[in-house]
Amino acid sequence: MALACVRLPYRLRVAWLEPLSFLILLGISWDVTIRLFGIPRYQIPTPADVVIALCHEWPMLLAEASPTTLATMAGFLLSAAFGIPVAMLIASSRLVESYVFPLLVFSQSIPKIAIAPLFVVWFGFGMTPKMLLAFLLGFFPIVVSSVQGFKSVEPDMLDLARAMEATRLQIFRMISLPHALPAIFSGLKVSITFAVVGAVVGEFVGSNSGIGFVLQRSSGTFELATMFAALFVLALIGVTLFWILHLIERLAIPWHAGQRQEFIIAA
Amino acid sequence: MIRSLLVTFCTIILAGPAAATDKVTLMLDWYVYGSHAPFYYGKEKGIFAAAGIDLDIQEGRGSGITTQAVAAKSAPFGYVDIPTMMRAAVKGAPVIATGVLLQTTPMSAMGFVERNIRKPEDIKGKTVVYTPGDSLSQIWPLFLKKTGLKEIDFKTLSGDATTKFNAVINGQADLLLGYFMDQSMRIKDATGRNVYPIKFADYGINLVNSGIITTKDLLKDNPDLVRRMMAASTRAILAAVKDRKGAAESILKASPKGGKLDTLTEGFELTIPLFNDPTKKSKQPFVVSDQNMADTVSIMVEYGGLEGTAKGNPRAFYTNEYLPKGLPL
C-alpha cells in the first residue's frame, strides 16, 4: 500500500534543532579555546559570562533593540521601494543600464562608515541618519539580484505574450514579475542583514539609543560580556527579520522549487 | 686587499653590539595632537637614540584600544589615559603605568567663545554632546554633582569623536566634552574660531590623565629597557618645554598632515602646566604622588566603574621606580 505523509511537523523540529546544536557546539569550542590558550577575559569573554550578561541586561537590551529594529526596517523598506523599480529600469533599458549600473557598483565601494558622520551633520541626530545608512547598505543587493531576476525571463515567453497581444502591464504582471520574484526575494534576504549593519553604524556615529549605542558604551568601559551580549541580540534581530522575509517568500512564491516540501512515499 | 677586508669585518663585529638599539613602538592614545610633541621632538633630536632606542610612534584609536594593544604585547609602550588603563587592569589586563605625565585632568566642556558659556550655570538650557563609554562621559556625572547641575538642566546628544566635533562646529550642540588642548585646537584649525573650555579641574575634580604604560612582564624581563625609555622620555619632555615651537614642528616633520604649526604649538603650551604635580610633592615629569593616584582611584571607584577593591591598593596601577632621578621641570 502506498502511503504518502507530510513530514512537515517533524521537519520543522529538526530544522530548529540543527542550527541550535551547532550554536551550542560553537559555544563549547569557544570556551575550550579560551581555556586551552589561556586567553584573558579582557580580550574575549567566556560564553558563560556572555550568557550571564544576557540574563542580567535582557530588559535593557530588549529596550535598545527596538530603535535599531525600527531603523533597520525603515531603511530596508526604502531600499526595496527604490531598489526594485531601479532594477526594472536597468533590466528594461540598455541605455539606463549603461549609465546607472557602473555608478552603482562604484558607489558600493565607498565605505559608508566614512560618510556616516556627514549624515549626522546633514540630517541631525535621531532616526533619519540611521535609516539612510540602513537604506544605503541594503540598496545594492536588491538591485543586483532584481536585475538578474528580471533579465532571466525567457525571451520565448515574452515573444509568445506579445504574439497574443498582451499589454506591457500584463506582460509585467503575469510573466516578468513572477519570474523575477525568486531572485528579488534572494536580494531582499541579503539586503535585510546589511540593513541591520547600516542601522548600527548610524547609531555608532550619532545616537542616544539602540544596540549600536550599547556596543559603543560597553566597548569604552571594557564590559566585553555586555558587548558580546549586544552582538548576540543584533544577530537575533537579523535572523528574525530574515525568517519573516522567508515566510513572506513562502506565501508569495509557494510554487518555487526552493519552497517545495518533501513528501515521503512508502510502500 | 684581504687584510683590509679582514680589518673592516672585525670592526663591524666589534662595533656591532655597542651600536645595537632596541626597536620600540610607542602607541599613542589618539591621532596626533599637541601634547604628543615631546615624543616626536625626542626622536628628532636623537634623545631616544642616545638611550639605545629606535622609537617608532604609532597613532592610536582611543586609550582603550591602545591599552589592549599594550596588554596583548602588540606594542611595548603606550601613551594612554591612566584611569582608562585602570579599568582594563582591574579586568585582568597586566598593564602598569611607568610614568604619569599629565597630573591634572584636561577634561572640559567646551564651546565657541561667542556662545558665552563660561560657567557651569551657563550650561543650563544648552545642548552637550559626548561619546558614550569614554572617560569624559564617566566623569561628567561627578562634574554635575560638583557644580550642582542636573541632567534635566540641559539636552544631551551622543556620537563618536567625529560627530562630537561636527556637532559643535555646525551648531547642533553648544558644547562638547573633550580635552582642552585637543579638540579646542582641532576646532580652531577647522573654523579659525576660539573655544572656551570649562575645565573640570577648576571644580575640584582631581584626576590624573595621560601617561606611559607597559606590561608587568616587560618590567620583569627587560627593566633596563623600561628605565632607558622613561629616562629618554623625561629628557624629551624637558627639552621640548624649552623649545615649544620646535617640538610642534617635529610633529609636522614626522606627520605633515598632523595639524597646523600654530595650534599644535598652542596645544603643547596648554599641556605644559598639566605636567606639574597639584599636590606639590613632585617636581619631575612623570613622577606622580601617591596622594594624586589615591584621589584618582577614589574617583574612579565612585564614578568610573572601577571595582571597590581597587581603593585598597592604588599602587597596583603605577610605579615610579623606573624613572630617572634629578631631572626637575
Whether residue B36 lies within 8 A of chain A, CB to CB, comes out as: no
Percent of chain B at pLDDT exceeding 90 = 81
Give, in order, the Cα–Cα distances in Å from A216 to each of A195, A212, B132: 19, 6, 6
Contact A40 B167 (CB under 8 A): no
Give me the residues of B, 242-271, that contact A with CB < 8 A.
none
- CB proximity A218 to B under 8 Å: yes
Contact in structure between B197 and B110 (CB atoms under 8 Å) = yes
DSSP code of residue A44: S
- Residue B138, chain A, CB below 8 Å: the answer is yes
Least confident of A48-62, A68-82, A154-168, B238-252: A154-168
Of the ranges A8-12, A182-186, B315-319, which one carries the lowest mean pLDDT score?
A8-12
What residue in A sits closest to B95 (Cα-Cα)?
A42
Please state, in angstroms and rounded to a whole number, the distance separating the CA atoms of residues B275 and B328.
11
CA distance A134 to chain B (A): 17
- Give the pLDDT confidence score for residue A258 in this predicted structure: 61
pLDDT 10s digits, A64-104: 999 999 999 999 999 999 999 999 999 888 888 898 888 88
Position B133 scores a pLDDT of 86
Q: Is B87 in contact with A121 (Cβ distance < 8 A)?
A: no
DSSP secondary-structure letter at B318? B
Please give, one letter per residue, the 3-state secondary structure of B191-228.
HCCCEEEEEHHHHCCCCCCEEEEEEHHHHHHCHHHHHH
A206 to B88: CB separation less than 8 angstroms, yes or no: no
What was the pLDDT predicted at A14?
A: 63
pLDDT at res. B10: 52
CB of B94 within 8 A of CB of B116?
Answer: no
Domains of chain B: 18-103+207-317 (3.40.190.10), 107-203 (3.40.190.10)
Tell me which of A46, A113, A120 to substitute to probe the interface with B (most B C-beta atoms closer than 10 Å).
A120
Of A117, A213, A219, the CB nearest to B163: A117
Cα distances (Å, whole numbers) of residue A73 to A8, A78, A80, A145, B124: 30, 8, 10, 19, 36
Q: pLDDT value at position A6?
A: 43
From residue B148, give the alpha-carbon distance in Å to each of A10, A97, B132.
64, 63, 22
Handedness of CA A213, A216, A220, A224 (dihedral sign): positive
Report the b/e string of B128-161 with b at 16+ CB within 10 A: bbbbbbbbbbbbbebbbeebebeeeebeebbbbb
> What domains can be seen in chain A, in order of their start residue?
46-259 (1.10.3720.10)
Task: Please state, in angstroms and as integers, the Cα–Cα distance from residue B311 to each residue in B89, B101, B200, B228, B306, following that order.
Answer: 13, 21, 22, 31, 9
Judge whether A22 is closer than 8 Å to chain B, CB to CB. Answer: no
**CA max distance for chain B:** 86
Cα dihedral A170, A176, A180, A182 sign: positive
Say yes or no: B134 contacts chain A, CB-CB below 8 A.
Answer: yes
Give the residue from chain B lying closest to A124, CA to CA.
B172
The ipTM assigned to this model is: 0.77
Most confident of the ranges B4-18, B45-59, B159-173, B297-311: B45-59
Separation between Cα atoms, residue B41 and residue B143, nearest integer Å: 35
The answer to whether residue B131 scores a pLDDT higher than 50 is yes
pLDDT beyond 60 at B265: yes
**Residue B3: predicted pLDDT:** 64
Inter-chain CB proximity A206 and B163 less than 8 Å:
yes
CB contact at 8 A, A39 and B93: no
Q: Which three-class secondary structure state does DSSP give residue A211?
A: helix
More confident residue, B282 or A168: B282
pLDDT band at A266 (very low <50, low <70, confident <90, very high): very low
Chain B CB contacts of A60 under 8 Å are none
Q: State how far the Cα of A129 lies from the Cα of A106, in Å rounded to an integer.
A: 21
Determine the pLDDT at residue A54: 94
Q: Which residue shows C-alpha cell 525603515?
A: A74
| Residue A145 near residue A190, CB atoms below 8 Å | yes
> Locate cell 609636522: which residue?
B252
Tell me which chain B residues have a C-beta less than 8 angstroms from the C-beta of A220. 62, 64, 131-134, 137
Residue in A with minimal Cα distance to B155: A208
Check pLDDT > 50 for residue A167.
yes
Contact A148, A183 (CB under 8 A): yes
Residue B7 has a pLDDT of: 55
Q: What is the pLDDT of residue A113?
A: 83
Residue range A51-76: average pLDDT? 95
When pLDDT is cut at 50, 70 and 90, the band that residue A222 belongs to is confident
The cell numbers describing B261, all together, are 604649526
Q: Is B141 on the interface with A (CB under 8 A)?
A: no
Q: Which stretch of A37-46, A75-84, A226-235, B7-16 has the lowest confidence by average pLDDT?
A: B7-16
What type of residue is B267? Answer: G
Residue B167 is placed in which grid cell?
556637532
**A120 Cβ under 8 Å from any chain B Cβ:** yes
Looking at residues A136-152, what average pLDDT do you find?
92
Listed in sequence order, the residues at least 6 apart from A109 whose beta carbon sits closer than 8 Å to its beta carbon are none
Q: Which stretches within chain A are classed as H helix?
A: 8-37, 47-92, 94-108, 112-123, 127-151, 155-163, 168-171, 177-206, 211-220, 224-252
Closest chain A residue to B306 measured between Cα atoms? A221
Q: Which residue of B has its CA nearest to A123?
A: B172
Give the best-scoring range by mean pLDDT among A170-179, A207-216, B235-244.
Answer: B235-244
Mean of the per-residue pLDDT values of chain A? 86
> φ, ψ for residue B25 (rounded to 5)?
-100, 130
| Angle made by CA atoms B165, B83, B44, in degrees to the nearest 5 | 70
- What percent of chain A is modeled with pLDDT above 90? 49
pLDDT at A257 over 80: no
pLDDT, residue B232, reads 97
Stated pTM of the model: 0.82
For A264, the 3-state DSSP assignment is strand
A37 touches B at CB < 8 Å:
no
Residue B82 in grid coordinates: 591612566
Do A120 and B132 make contact, defined as CB atoms within 8 angstroms? no
Tens of pLDDT along B165-215?
A: 999 999 999 999 999 999 999 999 999 999 999 999 999 998 999 999 999
How far does CA B239 lie from the centroid of its chain?
Answer: 18
When mean pLDDT is compared over A162-176, A238-252, B3-17, the highest value belongs to: A238-252
What's the rounded Cα separation, in Å, for the pair B196 and B173?
14
